[in-house]
């Protein structure tokens, strides 16, 4: 069973790397966007995390 899990994890990782590095029509990739402006993505991730925390807290209070 662990062989199947390892295979699936490897396949998912390979696809994620392919997806992040795949070039779009304008000859850029998601990785290029991340490397050009990392603070933008970091701030979006922080905002998303805070929204999820607030949603969880509100659900537990109700």
40 in Cβ contact with 30 (< 8 Å): no
* Alpha carbons 41 and 34: distance in angstroms, whole number: 7
Closest among 51, 49, 47, 48 to 59, alpha carbons compared: 51
Q: Where are the domains of the chain?
A: 2-61
Count Cα atoms within 13 angstroms, Cβ side, for 1.
0
31 in Cβ contact with 21 (< 8 Å): yes
Per-residue model confidence as pLDDT tens digits over 7-58: 999 999 999 999 999 999 999 999 998 899 999 989 999 999 999 999 999 9
Does residue 62 have a pLDDT over 90?
no
Q: Model's pTM, two decimal places?
A: 0.58
Phi-psi region of 27 (alpha: psi -120 to 50; beta: other; left: phi over 0): left
């Amino acid at each position: 069973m662990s062989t199947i899990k390892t295979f699936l994890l490897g396949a998912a990782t390979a696809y994620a790397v392919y997806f992040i590095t795949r070039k779009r029509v304008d000859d850029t990739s998601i990785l290029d966007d991340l490397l050009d402006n990392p603070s933008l993505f970091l701030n979006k991730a922080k905002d998303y995390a805070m929204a999820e925390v607030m949603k969880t807290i509100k659900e537990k209070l109700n």
